Amino acid sequence: MKTYASNNTKTPVDLHETFTIYSSVSDHGKNYSCEVELNFTEITLSNHSEPAVISVVDIKKPNLSLASSTEDIEIGTSSLVVCSAQGSFPLKDVEMQVFFNGKEVNSTVEAGLLNAIYTQKSAAPVNISCTVSVQNFSETSNLIVRGYRLPPPTIDIPDHIPENDMVNITCHVDNQEPVNTTQILIILGNHENLASTVGRVVVHSYMGQRKHNGMTVTCKATLQLPTRLVTRNSSATLNVQYQPVFLKELPKKENFKSGESLASKMTCEADGNPKPVIEWLKENRSIEPDKSLGPEDEGTYVCLAKNALGTATLNVTVTVQSPNVLLYIYIILAITVVLIMIFILYCIYRKKTKTGEYDVKDIKNPSRNGHVAHNDNKEKHPLQPVNV
């Protein structure tokens, strides 16, 4: 309130007064009016203006971020852009816009949250901006997004490596952006002195060794970005080829009984890459190891292991024990004697235990009725044995 001193001037005067108001969000929507009073000795006159509604605005810098939580985005991938103005007031009057390199894009706004989809199309930096406006006030946040490309690295290794041969194994990556990758070739668990930078090729000279067959070789590419480290790996398997080698020795000589087979006593096994083929030979002819042996099969047998790189052989002298013919004759005679004795005993037993059968013959008496048999104990009717 402002009070002016008494003025004896009898002509009208114009008065202007400015009041400073320190408003808060709690004052939003309240009515303000200007009221004046003119005090005379005997009377006081007053008047007031039409009320004015105060509008309070509290706008804060929007929070702009990517859902991927990083400003380095792989080329061709998309990320959700999120802009928050929830700290601004009044929220219902907030307007929001998002721009990619100054070009406004479609977005959805709800309750002070803006969502837009951003797709990284190149490695060139892109400025993403979000503007929040309330009445005549606005705030803008910016975010610089960078693109990168790191394809899986390429590892070049021969399909097969002969033992003791020298070959080159290479590791490189193509079409990377930006071109500041580091390639590392990890072979046999060791990558010392096998690294290069700025996309250059790593070359390693390797001599094939059978003990390395089946081991994994890895080509690793790393790209250091401002916000994170990106890594890609590719792997291949060493295929070292070597001639067959027997896993165990065979005896120089082996004795078999007639009817036994080679497989019943001996196993011929060999290692090699490619996997060797195992074959038994006798006089350069293939022999089945499960075949029964007889005296005619004695001799020298060869176990042959063969693959595309060479062959390996083992020799075994085989002897076969002939069956004891006299023993077989004794056994047959003994069996025959036992059968004969069993037959004789059976016949004796049968004769002692068999039952006789008899036939009653009718002796007719002329003095008696030929049709009626009489038994007066005076006539005898002998029983005739019947041969069985």
pLDDT tens digits in sequence order for the chain, 388 residues long: 777 666 666 677 777 778 777 777 776 777 778 888 877 777 887 887 888 877 777 888 999 999 888 899 999 999 999 999 988 888 888 999 999 999 999 999 998 999 999 999 999 999 999 999 998 899 999 999 999 999 999 999 999 999 999 999 999 999 999 888 999 999 888 776 688 888 789 999 999 999 999 999 999 999 999 989 999 999 999 999 999 999 999 999 999 988 899 999 999 999 999 999 999 999 999 999 999 999 899 999 999 999 999 999 999 999 998 766 566 777 888 888 888 888 888 888 777 776 555 454 554 554 444 444 444 444 454 555 545 4
CA distance 64 to 12: 58
Residue 273 contacts residue 262 (beta carbons within 8 Å): no
The whole model's pTM is what? 0.61
Question: Which tokens belong to 81?
Answer: 């852009």
- The predicted pLDDT at position 61 comes to 92
Residues in the chain, how many? 388
CA distance 3 to 89: 36
Taking alpha carbons only, the member of 78, 71, 72, 68 closest to residue 178 is 72
Neighbour order of strands in the sheet with 182-187: 195-197, 182-187, 216-224, 229-237
Please, what is the Cα angle at 326 between 344 and 256, to 5 degrees?
A: 130
Question: Which tokens belong to 348?
Answer: 């004796």
Question: Which tokens belong to 241?
Answer: 């080829």
Please, what is the Cα angle at 15 between 14 and 19, to 5 degrees?
A: 155
- Which secondary-structure segment (H or E) carries 117? strand 113-119
Question: Which tokens belong to 5?
Answer: 């001193």
The dihedral built from the CA positions of residue 332, 337, 342 and 347, taken in this order, carries a sign that is: positive
Integer-rounded Cα radius of gyration of the chain: 59
- The predicted pLDDT at position 327 comes to 66
